[in-house]
Amino acid sequence: MSLATEFKAFIQRGNALDLAVGVVIGAAFGKIVTSLVDNIIMPPIGLLIGGVDFSAWKWILKAAGADGKGEVAIGIGVFVNTIIQFLIIAAAIFLVVKVINSVTKKPEPAPAAPPEPTPTEKLLTEIRDALKK
């Protein structure tokens, strides 16, 4: 099978469309979570611990020059915000997968028919039935 034929079959199965929809929804969800963390969750937390603005919280390695450029800093607050965003997205995905798994539970397999009796069991059954008569 050629590469083009395999690609055509892949697209026709719907996997590519499902993937594209997932990426678009994931990107939009990521923006919503970013806004939630930056604008709703972190400001009250910063206020509670002394008015810290987490987005501006950084560890300066080299101060800026007189022109205000050239600062080298590690953005600790941005990193904390990103970790919180990740945890929220991971929890949401976990819940979605859990709901999907509970909705799409596979039915229990039907109980197997009892096995055919062995020749010895058949003979014993015949003897028992003969003795009953």
Summarize pLDDT for 102-123 with one digit per residue, the tens.
Answer: 887 777 777 888 888 899 999 9
In the chain, DSSP assigns E strands to 59-62, 72-74
Asked, for residue 63, whether it belongs to a domain, the answer is yes
Q: What is the pLDDT of residues 68-78, one digit of tens each?
A: 788 888 988 88
Q: Which residues form the domain of 64?
A: 3-106
In a domain? residue 119: no
In this structure, is residue 129 part of a structural domain?
no
- The average pLDDT across 27-56 equals 84
Q: Average pLDDT, whole number, for the chain?
A: 84
SS3 84: helix
What is the model's pLDDT at position 127? 92
Tally of domains within the chain: 1
Q: pTM of the full predicted structure?
A: 0.56
In a domain, 132, yes or no: no
Within a domain: residue 118? Answer: no
Q: Which CATH number does the domain housing residue 74 bear?
A: 1.10.1200.120
